[in-house]
Structure 1
Amino acid sequence: MHALTIANMLISVPQQDLYLTNMKINKLVYFAQVECLRTHGHKLFDEPIQAWEYGPVEPSVYTAFRKYGSDRITAPAMSEDHDQANSLADLQEAKDVVQRVVDLYGPLAAFELMDYSHRNGSAWKAVYQPHKNNEITEKAILSSHDGIDHPDLRRTLAGGVRAVNERFPNALKLLKDS
């Protein structure tokens, strides 16, 4: 499986609230790798993930979606070598991991994912050096808190909107229509 396949799966998730930018999709691809390592004991894809200034980045995913800049990604990217050799079991496992990542990390905004990936105990924090793009290895991931703790969605922008919507059900509708 390729990292770009995982990115394309994220884009294809039927959830209209998943606003994906290049920064966000790279973080979600990283956390998909983490979740697969933690739950299944193996990597989801073999391409390296690097510690860039703004968090974990998978270079082929970054390159594929670079044209979007900080705008919303609207379509999957074409892969030069298609993942035709994957078994149905592998594809289902990947879909399950992607759905878990969407549930756990999808509500976070790109800047919140960046902050979360920079927290103490993260693999990024352990390997990052300015201007080096060091690889975040399997060992670094398994030695970190990544995939063990998960973000508290109540303390996010999406969590705040959800809380307002629960407490004042019509407030956001009134704002939308004003």
Structure 2
Amino acid sequence: MTYTPQHIANYFLDRASQEERRLSLLQLLKLIYIGYGWSLALRDEKLFNERIEAWQHGPVIPSIYHEFKHYGSNPIATSSVTVDFKENNGKLSLSFQTPRVPETDEDTHYILDTVWKSYKDFTGWALRELTHQEGTPWRKVYRDGVRGIAMQDEDIREHYVERIGRYLEAARATEQERKAS
């Protein structure tokens, strides 16, 4: 199932709240991006259909950035919401929704939970630095001072296939060392 970036944002914001943590916008943007990458790598599926852009401080999902930019570097204190405008008999009404990934979507929960457990202790700046490393999808397309350059899904997928492979190799080596001792 494909979601919106707001679904994924709320997943991480809810997890942070459950653990009495707060996320900055920089952390949230990078966690959403990493979750997107893991989904492409493990399922060959996008988590959402909004493009990810290469900005100065790494990958950015524009709708999430604009929704939460007023927090600056302070912790985000609200959930992500969507607004539906409806016209009924010439009257305009607003409906606010707080989108969440359903508990029944175990695969998506597993991926996002793994991302959360792996990266929750990283600062926003540390996550930024991860996305800026040589050979990352961001590095391939970023141009100084230019916003709006779309990052390519295939580059993101390949990057996370390789990264997850390294994690699995390290886990196997640790398990073998544990068994040997």
TM-score relative to the length of structure 1:
0.74
Amino acid at match of 2:62: P
1:138 alignment partner, one of 153, 163, 167 = 153
Kept in 1: contact 2:38–2:157 (CA 8 A):
no
Displaced runs of 4 or more, over 6 A = none
Report percent identity of matched pairs: 25
Kept in 2: contact 1:6–1:94 (CA 8 A):
no
Structure 1: gaps of 5 or more residues = 153-178
Q: Name the one with the larger strand percent.
A: 2
Deviation of the 1:149 alpha carbon: 2.3
Amino acid at match of 2:19: Q
Kept in 1: contact 2:26–2:73 (CA 8 A):
yes
- Which structure would you say has the larger Rg? 2
Distance, in Å, in 2 between the alignment partners of 1:141 and 1:83 is 28
2:7 alignment partner, one of 5, 11, 32 = 5
Q: Report what 1:16 is aligned to.
A: 20
1:95 alignment partner, one of 96, 100, 109 = 109
Deviation of the 1:104 alpha carbon: 1.4
When the two structures are aligned, how many residues end up with a matched partner? 148
2:125 alignment partner, one of 95, 106, 111 = 111
Distance, in Å, in 1 between the alignment partners of 2:116 and 2:162 is 16
Deviation of the 1:120 alpha carbon: 1.0
1:1-178 mapped onto 2 (5 Å cutoff):
1-13=3-15, 14-17=18-21, 19-80=22-83, 89=104, 91-133=105-147, 134-143=149-158, 145-146=159-160, 148-149=162-163
RMSD: 2.4
Instruction: Spell out, residue by residue over 1:39-97, the C-alpha distance to the aligned partner (whole angstroms, 9 max, x if none).
Output: 1111111100100000010001111111111000122121125588x8764x4333222
Q: Report what 1:166 is aligned to.
A: none
